[in-house]
Chain A
Amino acid sequence: MAIEVRVPTVLRTHTGGEKRITGDGATLQELIDDLERRNSGLKPAIVGGDGQLHRFINLYVNDEDVRFLGGIATPLEDGDSVSILPAVAGG
Protein backbone atom coordinates (compact mmCIF):
# COMPACT_ATOMS: atom_id res chain seq x y z
CA MET A 1 0.00 0.00 0.00
CA ALA A 2 1.58 3.23 -1.09
CA ILE A 3 0.05 6.65 -1.12
CA GLU A 4 1.93 9.50 -2.75
CA VAL A 5 1.74 12.79 -0.88
CA ARG A 6 2.60 16.17 -2.37
CA VAL A 7 4.05 18.48 0.23
CA PRO A 8 3.91 22.28 -0.05
CA THR A 9 7.02 24.43 0.37
CA VAL A 10 6.03 25.63 3.82
CA LEU A 11 5.92 22.07 5.19
CA ARG A 12 9.08 20.74 3.53
CA THR A 13 11.12 21.56 6.61
CA HIS A 14 9.47 18.42 8.01
CA THR A 15 10.36 16.25 5.01
CA GLY A 16 14.03 17.09 4.53
CA GLY A 17 13.06 19.32 1.63
CA GLU A 18 11.24 16.55 -0.25
CA LYS A 19 8.37 17.66 -2.49
CA ARG A 20 6.84 14.20 -2.75
CA ILE A 21 6.79 11.57 -0.03
CA THR A 22 4.99 8.26 0.34
CA GLY A 23 3.11 6.76 3.23
CA ASP A 24 0.65 4.04 4.13
CA GLY A 25 -2.81 4.00 5.61
CA ALA A 26 -6.32 2.75 5.01
CA THR A 27 -7.69 6.18 5.86
CA LEU A 28 -6.38 9.72 5.75
CA GLN A 29 -6.07 9.59 9.54
CA GLU A 30 -3.85 6.50 9.35
CA LEU A 31 -1.79 8.05 6.59
CA ILE A 32 -1.17 11.18 8.65
CA ASP A 33 -0.10 9.06 11.63
CA ASP A 34 2.23 7.08 9.37
CA LEU A 35 3.72 10.26 7.91
CA GLU A 36 4.26 11.58 11.41
CA ARG A 37 6.32 8.51 12.27
CA ARG A 38 8.52 9.16 9.24
CA ASN A 39 8.55 12.97 9.26
CA SER A 40 8.18 14.31 12.74
CA GLY A 41 6.34 17.58 12.91
CA LEU A 42 4.12 17.13 9.89
CA LYS A 43 1.03 16.04 11.82
CA PRO A 44 0.71 19.10 14.08
CA ALA A 45 0.89 21.24 10.94
CA ILE A 46 -2.11 19.44 9.49
CA VAL A 47 -4.25 18.31 12.43
CA GLY A 48 -5.25 20.22 15.57
CA GLY A 49 -5.35 18.98 19.14
CA ASP A 50 -8.98 18.00 18.60
CA GLY A 51 -7.93 15.55 15.89
CA GLN A 52 -9.61 17.54 13.15
CA LEU A 53 -7.98 19.12 10.12
CA HIS A 54 -6.74 22.65 10.62
CA ARG A 55 -9.12 25.28 9.33
CA PHE A 56 -6.52 26.70 6.94
CA ILE A 57 -5.08 23.48 5.56
CA ASN A 58 -6.62 21.94 2.46
CA LEU A 59 -6.16 18.21 1.93
CA TYR A 60 -7.10 16.50 -1.30
CA VAL A 61 -7.45 12.86 -2.24
CA ASN A 62 -7.12 12.38 -5.99
CA ASP A 63 -7.71 16.11 -6.48
CA GLU A 64 -10.92 16.25 -4.43
CA ASP A 65 -11.05 18.36 -1.26
CA VAL A 66 -11.55 15.90 1.61
CA ARG A 67 -14.09 18.26 3.17
CA PHE A 68 -16.36 17.04 0.35
CA LEU A 69 -15.36 13.42 1.02
CA GLY A 70 -15.06 11.91 4.48
CA GLY A 71 -12.78 14.48 6.07
CA ILE A 72 -9.99 12.93 8.08
CA ALA A 73 -11.77 9.55 7.93
CA THR A 74 -11.67 9.46 4.11
CA PRO A 75 -10.71 5.92 3.01
CA LEU A 76 -7.61 5.48 0.88
CA GLU A 77 -6.60 2.87 -1.66
CA ASP A 78 -3.23 1.80 -3.00
CA GLY A 79 -2.13 4.27 -5.64
CA ASP A 80 -4.20 7.19 -4.37
CA SER A 81 -2.52 10.56 -4.34
CA VAL A 82 -2.87 13.10 -1.56
CA SER A 83 -2.08 16.79 -1.87
CA ILE A 84 -1.61 19.23 0.97
CA LEU A 85 -2.09 22.94 0.30
CA PRO A 86 -2.30 25.66 2.89
CA ALA A 87 -5.34 27.85 2.29
CA VAL A 88 -4.77 31.12 0.49
CA ALA A 89 -6.74 33.65 2.46
CA GLY A 90 -6.55 37.07 4.01
CA GLY A 91 -8.40 40.26 4.60
Chain B
Amino acid sequence: MAMVSASLLMVPSLSHAQQIETGGKLLLTRGISTFEGSGGGGLTPWALITGNETNRGIGGSAHYTHVMLSDYQLRTYGAAAGFYDRFELSYTRQDFDTQDIGTALGLGEGYTFSVDVVGAKVRLAGNAVLDQDTWMPQVALGVQYKKSNRGDLVAALGATNDEGVDVYVSATKLILSQSLLVNATLRYTKAHQTGILGFGDKASLQPEFSVGYLVTKRLLVGAEYRFKPNKLAFAKEDDWMDIFAAYAINPYATVTLAYGMVGDVATIANQKGLYATVQLGF
Protein backbone atom coordinates (compact mmCIF):
# COMPACT_ATOMS: atom_id res chain seq x y z
CA MET B 1 0.00 0.00 0.00
CA ALA B 2 2.81 2.37 0.90
CA MET B 3 4.49 1.60 -2.40
CA VAL B 4 1.31 2.23 -4.36
CA SER B 5 0.76 5.62 -2.78
CA ALA B 6 4.42 6.47 -3.28
CA SER B 7 4.19 5.68 -6.96
CA LEU B 8 0.94 7.61 -7.25
CA LEU B 9 2.72 10.60 -5.75
CA MET B 10 5.50 10.21 -8.28
CA VAL B 11 3.21 10.46 -11.30
CA PRO B 12 2.21 14.12 -10.99
CA SER B 13 5.77 15.22 -10.25
CA LEU B 14 7.01 13.41 -13.34
CA SER B 15 4.28 14.77 -15.58
CA HIS B 16 5.08 18.27 -14.35
CA ALA B 17 8.82 17.84 -14.88
CA GLN B 18 10.05 20.88 -16.78
CA GLN B 19 11.47 20.50 -20.22
CA ILE B 20 15.27 20.53 -20.12
CA GLU B 21 16.67 23.50 -22.01
CA THR B 22 20.07 24.16 -23.50
CA GLY B 23 21.80 27.51 -23.89
CA GLY B 24 21.01 30.81 -22.25
CA LYS B 25 24.24 32.00 -20.64
CA LEU B 26 25.82 35.29 -21.71
CA LEU B 27 29.01 35.18 -23.78
CA LEU B 28 32.13 34.08 -21.86
CA THR B 29 30.18 33.49 -18.63
CA ARG B 30 30.60 29.71 -18.79
CA GLY B 31 34.31 30.37 -18.35
CA ILE B 32 37.02 28.71 -20.41
CA SER B 33 38.62 25.36 -19.64
CA THR B 34 41.60 24.97 -17.35
CA PHE B 35 44.40 22.57 -18.28
CA GLU B 36 42.86 20.39 -15.53
CA GLY B 37 39.47 20.41 -17.26
CA SER B 38 37.44 22.48 -14.81
CA GLY B 39 35.58 25.56 -15.98
CA GLY B 40 37.69 28.58 -15.17
CA GLY B 41 40.61 30.43 -16.53
CA GLY B 42 43.58 28.55 -17.94
CA LEU B 43 45.54 27.71 -14.79
CA THR B 44 42.91 28.00 -12.09
CA PRO B 45 39.26 26.99 -11.77
CA TRP B 46 36.56 29.62 -11.35
CA ALA B 47 33.24 29.35 -9.52
CA LEU B 48 31.42 29.55 -12.87
CA ILE B 49 29.77 26.35 -14.11
CA THR B 50 30.70 25.16 -17.60
CA GLY B 51 28.15 24.87 -20.41
CA ASN B 52 25.72 27.50 -21.67
CA GLU B 53 22.81 26.18 -19.62
CA THR B 54 20.83 28.14 -17.05
CA ASN B 55 19.03 26.85 -13.95
CA ARG B 56 16.60 25.00 -16.25
CA GLY B 57 18.97 23.06 -18.46
CA ILE B 58 22.15 21.16 -19.19
CA GLY B 59 25.20 22.15 -21.18
CA GLY B 60 28.63 20.94 -22.00
CA SER B 61 32.04 21.83 -23.33
CA ALA B 62 35.09 20.18 -24.80
CA HIS B 63 38.59 21.58 -25.03
CA TYR B 64 42.02 21.06 -26.47
CA THR B 65 44.99 22.91 -24.97
CA HIS B 66 48.48 23.03 -26.35
CA VAL B 67 51.34 24.50 -24.29
CA MET B 68 54.74 24.88 -25.93
CA LEU B 69 57.21 25.39 -23.11
CA SER B 70 60.93 26.02 -23.64
CA ASP B 71 61.79 22.31 -23.40
CA TYR B 72 58.49 20.50 -22.78
CA GLN B 73 55.12 20.28 -24.41
CA LEU B 74 51.85 19.89 -22.52
CA ARG B 75 48.73 18.78 -24.36
CA THR B 76 45.42 18.44 -22.57
CA TYR B 77 42.01 17.52 -23.90
CA GLY B 78 38.74 16.68 -22.31
CA ALA B 79 35.05 17.26 -21.91
CA ALA B 80 32.82 18.67 -19.21
CA ALA B 81 29.11 18.86 -18.52
CA GLY B 82 27.13 21.46 -16.62
CA PHE B 83 23.81 20.71 -14.95
CA TYR B 84 21.34 23.49 -14.09
CA ASP B 85 24.17 26.01 -13.74
CA ARG B 86 24.76 24.22 -10.43
CA PHE B 87 26.94 21.13 -10.95
CA GLU B 88 29.88 20.48 -13.22
CA LEU B 89 31.55 17.18 -14.09
CA SER B 90 34.74 17.00 -16.12
CA TYR B 91 37.29 14.59 -17.47
CA THR B 92 40.63 15.61 -18.93
CA ARG B 93 43.72 13.80 -20.13
CA GLN B 94 47.05 15.57 -19.74
CA ASP B 95 50.09 14.49 -21.77
CA PHE B 96 53.31 16.07 -20.55
CA ASP B 97 55.83 15.37 -23.31
CA THR B 98 59.53 15.63 -22.39
CA GLN B 99 60.50 15.78 -26.09
CA ASP B 100 64.28 16.02 -26.62
CA ILE B 101 64.93 16.70 -22.96
CA GLY B 102 63.67 13.18 -22.21
CA THR B 103 67.01 11.90 -23.46
CA ALA B 104 68.97 14.25 -21.20
CA LEU B 105 66.81 13.17 -18.23
CA GLY B 106 67.61 9.54 -19.04
CA LEU B 107 63.97 8.74 -19.86
CA GLY B 108 64.23 8.53 -23.62
CA GLU B 109 63.17 11.02 -26.25
CA GLY B 110 59.52 12.00 -26.14
CA TYR B 111 58.92 10.22 -22.82
CA THR B 112 55.46 11.35 -21.77
CA PHE B 113 53.86 11.58 -18.36
CA SER B 114 50.09 11.31 -18.59
CA VAL B 115 47.56 12.22 -15.95
CA ASP B 116 43.81 11.57 -15.98
CA VAL B 117 41.84 14.23 -14.13
CA VAL B 118 38.22 13.70 -13.11
CA GLY B 119 36.64 16.83 -11.70
CA ALA B 120 33.39 17.78 -9.99
CA LYS B 121 32.25 21.20 -8.88
CA VAL B 122 29.14 22.57 -7.19
CA ARG B 123 28.06 26.18 -7.05
CA LEU B 124 27.25 26.95 -3.42
CA ALA B 125 26.09 30.55 -3.53
CA GLY B 126 25.92 33.77 -5.47
CA ASN B 127 25.65 34.81 -9.09
CA ALA B 128 28.97 36.20 -10.36
CA VAL B 129 27.36 37.93 -13.32
CA LEU B 130 24.03 39.36 -12.10
CA ASP B 131 24.55 40.17 -8.40
CA GLN B 132 26.01 43.57 -9.26
CA ASP B 133 24.56 45.38 -6.24
CA THR B 134 26.49 43.36 -3.68
CA TRP B 135 30.09 42.27 -3.12
CA MET B 136 28.95 38.67 -2.62
CA PRO B 137 30.80 36.58 -5.22
CA GLN B 138 29.74 33.31 -6.81
CA VAL B 139 31.26 30.59 -4.64
CA ALA B 140 31.88 26.98 -5.67
CA LEU B 141 33.46 23.92 -4.10
CA GLY B 142 35.33 21.49 -6.34
CA VAL B 143 37.37 18.30 -6.33
CA GLN B 144 39.83 16.92 -8.86
CA TYR B 145 40.84 13.28 -8.72
CA LYS B 146 44.13 12.79 -10.57
CA LYS B 147 45.92 9.59 -11.55
CA SER B 148 49.36 9.35 -13.11
CA ASN B 149 50.18 6.60 -15.62
CA ARG B 150 53.84 6.61 -14.54
CA GLY B 151 53.57 5.20 -11.03
CA ASP B 152 57.00 3.58 -10.94
CA LEU B 153 58.85 6.57 -12.30
CA VAL B 154 57.12 9.21 -10.14
CA ALA B 155 57.84 6.93 -7.14
CA ALA B 156 61.51 6.85 -8.14
CA LEU B 157 61.47 10.66 -8.33
CA GLY B 158 60.16 10.89 -4.76
CA ALA B 159 56.38 10.73 -5.00
CA THR B 160 54.67 8.52 -2.44
CA ASN B 161 51.55 8.05 -4.53
CA ASP B 162 50.51 7.95 -8.18
CA GLU B 163 47.04 9.35 -7.43
CA GLY B 164 45.61 12.15 -5.37
CA VAL B 165 42.64 14.41 -4.81
CA ASP B 166 42.73 18.20 -4.86
CA VAL B 167 39.91 20.06 -3.12
CA TYR B 168 39.32 23.72 -3.84
CA VAL B 169 37.01 26.61 -3.11
CA SER B 170 36.66 29.32 -5.75
CA ALA B 171 35.07 32.76 -5.46
CA THR B 172 34.42 34.59 -8.71
CA LYS B 173 32.98 38.05 -9.25
CA LEU B 174 32.29 40.12 -12.33
CA ILE B 175 32.53 43.79 -11.37
CA LEU B 176 30.53 45.02 -14.33
CA SER B 177 30.71 48.73 -13.50
CA GLN B 178 34.50 48.41 -13.92
CA SER B 179 34.37 45.71 -16.65
CA LEU B 180 36.53 43.52 -14.37
CA LEU B 181 36.45 39.83 -13.55
CA VAL B 182 38.24 38.65 -10.42
CA ASN B 183 38.69 35.17 -9.02
CA ALA B 184 40.35 33.70 -5.96
CA THR B 185 40.77 29.99 -5.40
CA LEU B 186 42.18 28.14 -2.42
CA ARG B 187 43.37 24.61 -3.13
CA TYR B 188 44.19 21.74 -0.77
CA THR B 189 46.65 19.52 -2.59
CA LYS B 190 49.37 16.89 -2.24
CA ALA B 191 50.34 17.06 -5.91
CA HIS B 192 53.89 17.59 -7.23
CA GLN B 193 53.73 19.78 -10.36
CA THR B 194 49.90 19.49 -10.32
CA GLY B 195 50.24 15.67 -10.34
CA ILE B 196 52.49 15.26 -13.37
CA LEU B 197 55.28 14.21 -10.96
CA GLY B 198 52.94 12.30 -8.64
CA PHE B 199 51.70 13.03 -5.13
CA GLY B 200 53.28 13.34 -1.70
CA ASP B 201 52.27 12.68 1.92
CA LYS B 202 51.94 16.24 3.02
CA ALA B 203 49.05 18.40 1.90
CA SER B 204 49.23 22.15 1.71
CA LEU B 205 46.87 25.03 0.99
CA GLN B 206 47.72 26.98 -2.14
CA PRO B 207 46.02 30.20 -3.29
CA GLU B 208 45.39 30.98 -6.94
CA PHE B 209 44.24 34.25 -8.49
CA SER B 210 42.86 35.47 -11.80
CA VAL B 211 41.98 38.95 -12.90
CA GLY B 212 40.52 39.86 -16.26
CA TYR B 213 39.39 42.99 -18.04
CA LEU B 214 36.46 42.85 -20.48
CA VAL B 215 37.58 44.79 -23.55
CA THR B 216 34.39 43.93 -25.42
CA LYS B 217 31.62 41.47 -24.66
CA ARG B 218 33.66 38.90 -26.63
CA LEU B 219 37.19 39.61 -25.39
CA LEU B 220 38.61 39.11 -21.91
CA VAL B 221 42.29 39.85 -21.27
CA GLY B 222 43.98 39.13 -17.99
CA ALA B 223 46.54 37.38 -15.88
CA GLU B 224 46.65 34.45 -13.48
CA TYR B 225 48.93 33.43 -10.66
CA ARG B 226 48.93 29.98 -9.11
CA PHE B 227 50.96 29.33 -5.97
CA LYS B 228 52.39 25.84 -5.87
CA PRO B 229 53.92 23.61 -3.21
CA ASN B 230 57.63 22.77 -3.42
CA LYS B 231 57.98 19.41 -1.73
CA LEU B 232 60.06 17.25 -4.06
CA ALA B 233 63.71 16.72 -3.08
CA PHE B 234 65.11 16.14 -6.56
CA ALA B 235 63.81 19.26 -8.26
CA LYS B 236 62.49 22.69 -7.37
CA GLU B 237 58.86 23.54 -8.12
CA ASP B 238 57.86 27.12 -8.89
CA ASP B 239 54.62 29.09 -8.90
CA TRP B 240 52.88 29.35 -12.25
CA MET B 241 51.60 32.46 -13.96
CA ASP B 242 50.21 33.55 -17.28
CA ILE B 243 48.79 36.45 -19.22
CA PHE B 244 45.86 35.57 -21.45
CA ALA B 245 43.35 36.77 -24.01
CA ALA B 246 40.10 34.81 -24.39
CA TYR B 247 37.84 35.52 -27.35
CA ALA B 248 34.29 34.23 -27.74
CA ILE B 249 33.73 33.78 -31.49
CA ASN B 250 30.07 32.95 -30.81
CA PRO B 251 28.11 31.24 -28.02
CA TYR B 252 29.70 27.92 -28.98
CA ALA B 253 33.41 28.57 -29.59
CA THR B 254 36.00 30.37 -27.49
CA VAL B 255 39.69 30.57 -28.31
CA THR B 256 42.32 31.52 -25.74
CA LEU B 257 45.90 32.54 -26.31
CA ALA B 258 48.21 32.89 -23.35
CA TYR B 259 51.82 33.20 -22.41
CA GLY B 260 52.69 30.97 -19.48
CA MET B 261 55.66 31.03 -17.13
CA VAL B 262 55.99 27.88 -15.06
CA GLY B 263 59.58 28.12 -13.78
CA ASP B 264 61.60 25.01 -13.07
CA VAL B 265 60.12 21.64 -14.04
CA ALA B 266 61.94 18.39 -13.20
CA THR B 267 65.35 20.12 -12.94
CA ILE B 268 64.96 21.97 -16.25
CA ALA B 269 64.93 25.68 -15.45
CA ASN B 270 62.78 28.61 -16.48
CA GLN B 271 60.09 26.98 -18.59
CA LYS B 272 57.80 29.36 -20.44
CA GLY B 273 55.92 29.59 -23.67
CA LEU B 274 52.74 29.99 -25.64
CA TYR B 275 49.51 28.41 -24.49
CA ALA B 276 46.52 27.97 -26.78
CA THR B 277 43.07 26.58 -25.99
CA VAL B 278 40.10 25.93 -28.20
CA GLN B 279 36.88 25.35 -26.32
CA LEU B 280 33.60 24.31 -27.89
CA GLY B 281 30.46 24.32 -25.82
CA PHE B 282 26.69 24.47 -25.88
Partners in one complex: no
